[in-house]
């Protein structure tokens, strides 16, 4: 806080004019007055004029009022509307909000989600360059959906990109970049993910399980697929993240990485009984070191950055799927 002197002068009208310099005309008398009042009250209330009248000063006497304040407080109050308007102009572009959120996701180690937001941003800017938050309306969203589907993109992709945009819009509301009354997603429904049945028939499952691979790379891919199948469809990312601490007695207990951050079902752990096939695959493909914090499978290793972990898992999934497709077509 800075103790600064501000000089106030009474005019013929009831307003008060103030200056931050001492009066230059020494012949004009002035009165120094101490009035306890906040800067906010001074600008937006009548406490000061009332206090001055209570002092029974002559109507046209110059008055010196000492107020404790900071120039930051002064600017925030006196230029509040101008500051808010400038803030909107500077931050209304969706790119800056996306990029800030993407950086936060990367800092949290949520690399895959960060890439999804990056893809969403790229798609939005392809549809409309220099897109501003204020331009996101129900009509904009409908136009974007039509543009995407006309260009052969699925409604699942459209929904994924628009859910990211909805988060960006909510961030803009939270930071007062746009008013909540402008929220466009009440009048527009984001397309729901399209559920595609990938169920294998019993004879197809038998064919895969009984397949004899000639190369170890193919056999390894098949083992991971069987492991996933027996574990009730555990996705490959969760297989890569498994550690020996996830084995408790005769069960593998884990939480899906996809739902770890959600409150849905309180993210209940999944328990998978270890049968002979799982025990065989762990023994055959697992790391020899079985410390609690060791990964079960040699897909990841300790000390990787979130980005390196993401790259390792992505490579593992791509190579495994490639081997499986080659042997089943």
Q: Is it the case that residue 1 has pLDDT exceeding 80?
A: no
pLDDT at 202: 77
pLDDT at 223: 94
pLDDT at 57: 45
pLDDT digits 0-9 by tens, 14-34: 444 444 444 444 444 444 444
Counting residues of the chain whose pLDDT is more than 90, the rounded percentage is: 55
pLDDT at 106: 94
pLDDT at 193: 77
Q: Which residues pair with 115 in a beta bridge?
A: none
CATH topology of domain 89-186: DNA polymerase; domain 1 (1.10.150)
Length reported for the chain:
329
Lowest mean pLDDT among 18-22, 84-88, 296-300: 18-22
pLDDT at 213: 83
Residue 289 or residue 62, greater confidence: 289
Q: Please give the structure tokens belonging to residue 297.
A: 């499978």
pLDDT digits 0-9 by tens, 244-271: 999 999 999 999 887 776 655 556 789 9
Q: Is it the case that residue 112 has pLDDT exceeding 80?
A: yes
Counting residues of the chain whose pLDDT is more than 70, the rounded percentage is: 67
pLDDT at 267: 65
The ranges assigned to domains in the chain are 2-78, 89-186, 202-328
The stretch 274-279 carries a mean pLDDT of 94
The stretch 198-227 carries a mean pLDDT of 84
């Amino acid at each position: 806080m800075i103790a600064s002197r501000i000089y106030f002068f009474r005019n013929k009208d009831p307003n008060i004019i103030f200056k931050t310099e001492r009066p230059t005309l020494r012949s004009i008398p002035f009165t120094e007055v101490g009035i306890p009042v906040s800067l906010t009250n001074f600008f937006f209330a009548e406490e000061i004029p009332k206090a001055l009248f209570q002092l029974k000063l002559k109507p046209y006497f110059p008055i010196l009022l000492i107020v404790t304040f900071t120039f930051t407080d002064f600017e925030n109050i006196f230029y509040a509307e101008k500051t808010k308007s400038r803030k909107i102009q500077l931050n209304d572009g969706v790119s800056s909000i996306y990029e800030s959120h993407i950086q936060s996701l990367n800092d949290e180690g949520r690399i895959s989600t960060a890439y999804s937001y990056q893809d969403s941003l790229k798609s939005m800017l392809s549809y409309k360059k220099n897109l501003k938050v204020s331009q996101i309306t129900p009509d904009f969203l409908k136009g974007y959906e039509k543009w995407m589907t006309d260009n052969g993109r699925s409604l699942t992709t459209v929904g994924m990109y628009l859910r990211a945009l909805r988060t960006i819009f909510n961030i803009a509301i939270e930071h007062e970049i746009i008013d909540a009354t402008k929220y466009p997603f009440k009048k527009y429904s984001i397309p729901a993910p399209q559920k595609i049945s990938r169920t294998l028939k019993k004879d197809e499952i038998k064919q895969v399980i009984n397949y004899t691979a000639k190369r170890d790379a193919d056999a390894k891919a098949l083992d991971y697929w069987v492991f996933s199948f027996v574990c009730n469809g555990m996705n490959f990312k969760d297989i890569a993240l498994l550690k020996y601490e996830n084995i408790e007695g005769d069960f593998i207990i884990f939480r899906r990485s996809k739902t770890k951050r959600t409150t849905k079902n309180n993210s209940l752990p999944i328990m998978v009984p270890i049968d002979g096939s799982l025990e065989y695959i762990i023994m055959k493909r697992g790391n020899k070191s079985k410390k609690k914090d060791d990964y079960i499978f040699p897909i990841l290793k300790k000390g990787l950055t979130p980005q390196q972990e993401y790259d390792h898992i992505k490579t593992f999934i791509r190579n495994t799927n490639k081997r499986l497709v080659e042997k089943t077509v």
